[in-house]
Structure 1
Amino acid sequence: MNDPRPIGIFDSGVGGTSIWKEIHNLLPSEKTIYLSDSLNAPYGIKTQEKIIQLSIKNTEKLLEMNCKLIVVACNTATTNAVKVLRSTYNVPFIGIEPAIKPAALKSSNKAIGILATRGTLTSELFAQTSELYTRDIDVIEVEGNGLVELIESGKKDSEKTRELLEILLAPMIEAKIDYLVLGCSHYPYLIPLLTEILPEDVKIIDSGEAVARQTKAILNNNNILNSNSVKVTPEFYTNIDPRVLSEIINANVNAYKVEQLDF
């Protein structure tokens, strides 16, 4: 079992790199190709038809690059388009959706917050998951309007972002949530600010580690794991100015090159 073809990952911008990091840490010998569709960010305010169209565009670009598996590192794209992608293309897809189940099961206060885009919160898949696990839980759903745009413009640590988060989190704090579910792959980059604003007892959950474990499992199950132990260099592409994506992935070390690509 030695399949050196790359894993493809796409998101509506830079946020999915939070998923990429978990995959790269767990599977360092797997080559990864990351597509940042920042030109069309955010997906969360678009119609389902448009989200499907963009997801197909991204998928076909990754298939052109010979990807053996595709990670839809976007909650909105997963909840609105992954069913179509799986029925259209003969390649495994890994989706990402808000971690409602662990938050609901672990909550002592029986109150959880979900911060997500409108596209995720209004999707059929989200409604099904929420109905299944939160019948006896007080769920405070908040649309993170404006957060993706701030992150995409390199302002994730700005005072403007803090002020917006304080407004968005206020109803959750008032409801005494003890778990906050991050329903957008961009939002893990806000954890430092979230931690400062939320009460100390509130735990923050995102889906990154679970997605990485699922990716490894699917590679194994399909016999397409790369058994070579040599670390490989990931590739990053964006369809706008690459500076923000470069800053996100090279926060600690200037190791990876980001290329601008039309897609």
Structure 2
Amino acid sequence: MNMKKTSNYPIGVFDSGLGGLTVLKHLLEFLPNEDFIYLGDLANLPYGNKSQKNIVDYSIKCAQFLQSKNVKSIIIACNTASSYACNIIRESTEIPIYNVIDPCVEEVINSNVRKVAVLGTEKTVESNIYSNSIKINQPKIEVYNKACPLFVPIVEEGLEGTEIASSVIDYYLKDIKRKKIDQLILGCTHYPILIDDLKNYFGKYVSILHSGPIIAKTLSLSIEGAYKNTPKISYYVTDSPQRFEKYGSKFLSKKINSVNLVTL
């Protein structure tokens, strides 16, 4: 593709649902002149408990939809899809494909941390992608993985900051807390909504890393920028547009006015 011609094309972002909006939020801050197309595959939410085959199939369809909209690059704003489908999607297209895992791994291996905990969906944790990628580069870093499947419904139901959230965090993470970790990686794009609860639980000596600001910074340094006075954001979902519109503003910290329903 001719970069001069495509620099004003939109950037595509997809996730299984609402969580990827925590990534889009930071993309809008770092790339204020870009158009974005966001696709939430709510019909197949969540990806985190699906088979590898289905995760790959769903992700390919999402990428194909975004390509049909002439995007100049795609961000896979879902850790589960990033774990299993990123390389397959990259092989099928010439446009740049970014995932939310590689930038976080890069951040960890270039830091001085000794003990890291990765929180994610069952499938992301099962893939061991964070542990393997970190240890290839920094074998001395201790990495603990923990699946936290109830975090997503807690966030979806707006229960962050409640006793329910605190109880579930303690249920999943009390053993991790005893490990005296240096850093927590939020390996699911829903989890930043719980960041205040997690900070309260672990205290000020544990840094918390999530993909939104890191991938946004990475893109801002590598993508051919657009120059528009009034950038446009388009939202598409495969199910429940009213729910997406109602709850999406919490993830994005910005009102969502119009959502399009599509079939992939």
Under TM normalisation by the shorter chain, which class is it? 0.7 to 0.9
Q: Distance in 2 between matches of 1:25 and 1:175?
A: 35
Provide the aligned C-alpha RMSD in A. Answer: 2.4
Q: C-alpha offsets along residues 216-242 of structure 1, whole Å, 9 cap, x if unaligned?
A: 34423xxxx31x241313122222243
Q: Offset of 1:213 from its aligned partner?
A: 2.5
Q: In the alignment, what sits opposite 1:102?
A: 107
- Counterpart pick for 1:53 among 52, 57, 64: 57
Structure 2 unaligned runs (5+)? none
1:136 aligns with 2:130: no
Tell me the secondary structure at the aligned position of residue 106 of structure 1: coil
What is the one-letter code of the residue matched to 1:256? I
Q: Distance in 2 between matches of 1:203 and 1:131?
A: 19
What is the one-letter code of the residue matched to 2:206? V
Given that 1:112 and 1:177 are in contact with CA atoms closer than 8 Å, whether structure 2 keeps it comes out as yes
Change (3 A) 1:253 1:77: closer
Given that 1:100 and 1:181 are in contact with CA atoms closer than 8 Å, whether structure 2 keeps it comes out as no
Tell me the secondary structure at the aligned position of residue 122 of structure 1: helix
Q: Offset of 1:32 from its aligned partner?
A: 0.4
1:16 aligns with 2:20: yes
1:114 aligns with 2:118: yes
- Counterpart pick for 2:11 among 7, 10, 17: 7
Tell me the secondary structure at the aligned position of residue 30 of structure 1: coil
1:170 aligns with 2:169: no
Q: C-alpha offsets along residues 66-108 of structure 1, whole Å, 9 cap, x if unaligned?
A: 2121110011101100110011123211111172453455355
Aligned pairs for 1:67-106 (under 5 A) are 67-97=71-101, 99-103=104-108, 106=111
Structure 1 unaligned runs (5+)? none
What is the one-letter code of the residue matched to 2:68? E
TM-score (norm 1): 0.87
Q: Distance in 2 between matches of 1:112 and 1:125?
A: 14
1:216 aligns with 2:220: yes
Deviates more, 1:1-10 or 1:22-31: 1-10
Q: In the alignment, what sits opposite 1:230?
A: 229
Given that 2:14 and 2:40 are in contact with CA atoms closer than 8 Å, whether structure 1 keeps it comes out as yes
Q: In the alignment, what sits opposite 1:28?
A: 32
Given that 2:118 and 2:130 are in contact with CA atoms closer than 8 Å, whether structure 1 keeps it comes out as no
Given that 2:245 and 2:259 are in contact with CA atoms closer than 8 Å, whether structure 1 keeps it comes out as no
Q: Distance in 2 between matches of 1:35 and 1:59?
A: 9
Q: Distance in 2 between matches of 1:126 and 1:22?
A: 22
Tell me the secondary structure at the aligned position of residue 33 of structure 1: strand
1:261 aligns with 2:222: no
Counting helix residues as a fraction of each chain, which structure ranks higher?
2
Deviates more, 1:201-210 or 1:152-161: 152-161
Given that 2:117 and 2:143 are in contact with CA atoms closer than 8 Å, whether structure 1 keeps it comes out as yes
Tell me the secondary structure at the aligned position of residue 242 of structure 1: helix
Q: Distance in 2 between matches of 1:100 and 1:208?
A: 13
Q: Distance in 2 between matches of 1:134 and 1:17?
A: 31
